[in-house]
Structure 1
Amino acid sequence: MGMGASIVLGAIADDFTGATDLANNLVRGGMRCLQVIGVPQEEIDLADIDAVVVALKSRSCPVEGAVNDSLAALDWLQKQGARQLFFKYCSTFDSTDQGNIGPVADALLEALGYSQTVMVPAFPINGRTVYQGHLFVGDRLLNDSGMQHHPLTPMQDADLVRVLSRQTPHSVGLANRTVLVQGADATRTHLMMLADQGVRHVICDSLDEQDLEILAEATVAMPLVTGGSGLGQALPAQYRAQGWLDTISEPGRLSPATGGALVLSGSCSQATLAQVKDFLAKHPDGGFALDPLALAEGGKQQELALAFARQRLSAQAPVLLYASAVPDKVGAAQQALGVERAGALVEEALSQLAVKLVDEGVGRLLVAGGETSGAVVSALGITTLRIGAQIDPGVPWTQTPMAGREAPLSLALKSGNFGGVDFFTRAFEVLV
Structure 2
Amino acid sequence: MPLLGAIADDFTGATDLATMLVARGFRTVVAVGSEELADDGPAAREVRAADAVVVALKSRTAPADEAVEASLAALRALTDAGCRSFYFKYCSTFDSTPSGNIGPVADALLDALGESATVVVPAFPATGRTVYKARLFVHDELLEESPMRDHPLTPMRDSHVARLLAPQTRRPVRTIGLDTVRAGVEALREALTAPGFTDALTVVDATEDRDLRTISAATASMRLVTGAAGLALGLTGPHEGAARVPAASRAGDPGAVLAGSASAATRAQVAHATGLLPHRKLDLAALRADPAAAVADLVDFARACWHADPERPPLLYAVGSPDDLEHDTPEGAVPAADLVERALADVAVRLVGAGARRLLVAGGETSGAVVTALGARTLAIGAQLAPGVAWARTESGVGGSPDGVDLALKSGNFGGTDIFTSAWDELA
State TM-score, norm by structure 1. Answer: 0.93
CA contact (8 A) 2:345 2:373 kept: yes
Matched, 1:257 2:249: yes
Map of 1:15-414 to 2, 5 A cutoff? 15-39=10-34, 40=36, 41-43=38-40, 44-45=44-45, 46-194=47-195, 196-197=196-197, 199-236=199-236, 245-255=237-247, 257-258=249-250, 259-283=253-277, 286-298=278-290, 299-315=292-308, 316=310, 317-332=312-327, 334-336=328-330, 341-403=335-397, 404-414=400-410
* Matched residue SS, 2:174: strand
CA contact (8 A) 1:293 1:337 kept: no
Aligned length: 415
Identity of aligned residues (%): 47
Shift of the alpha carbon at 1:247? 2.9
Q: Distance in 2 between matches of 1:92 and 1:145?
A: 10
Q: Label 1:197 to 1:400 Cα distance change in 2 as closer, same or farther (>3 A).
A: closer
Q: Distance in 2 between matches of 1:419 and 1:330?
A: 21
Look up the match of 1:242.
Answer: none
Q: What amino acid is the match of 1:383?
A: R
Q: What amino acid is the match of 1:345?
A: L
Q: Label 1:314 to 1:120 Cα distance change in 2 as closer, same or farther (>3 A).
A: same
Q: What amino acid is the match of 1:71?
A: L
1:311-332 CA-to-partner distances (Å, cap 9, x unmatched) read 1112313211111243343134
Matched, 1:425 2:421: yes
1:222-272 CA-to-partner distances (Å, cap 9, x unmatched) read 000000000123212xxxxxxxx4234442132453221211010000000
- Structure 2 stretches of 5 or more lacking a match? none
Q: Distance in 2 between matches of 1:359 and 1:216?
A: 44
CA contact (8 A) 1:142 1:155 kept: yes
* Superposed CA RMSD: 1.6
Shift of the alpha carbon at 1:337? 5.9
Q: Distance in 1 between matches of 2:97 and 2:133?
A: 21
Q: Distance in 1 between matches of 2:27 and 2:377?
A: 17
Q: Label 1:351 to 1:224 Cα distance change in 2 as closer, same or farther (>3 A).
A: same
- Structure 1 stretches of 5 or more lacking a match? 1-5, 237-244
Bigger Cα displacement from structure 2, 13-22 vs 299-308 = 299-308
Shift of the alpha carbon at 1:294? 2.1
Q: Distance in 1 between matches of 2:281 and 2:123?
A: 34
Q: Distance in 2 between matches of 1:70 and 1:13?
A: 9
Q: Distance in 2 between matches of 1:256 and 1:405?
A: 9
State TM-score, norm by structure 2. Answer: 0.94
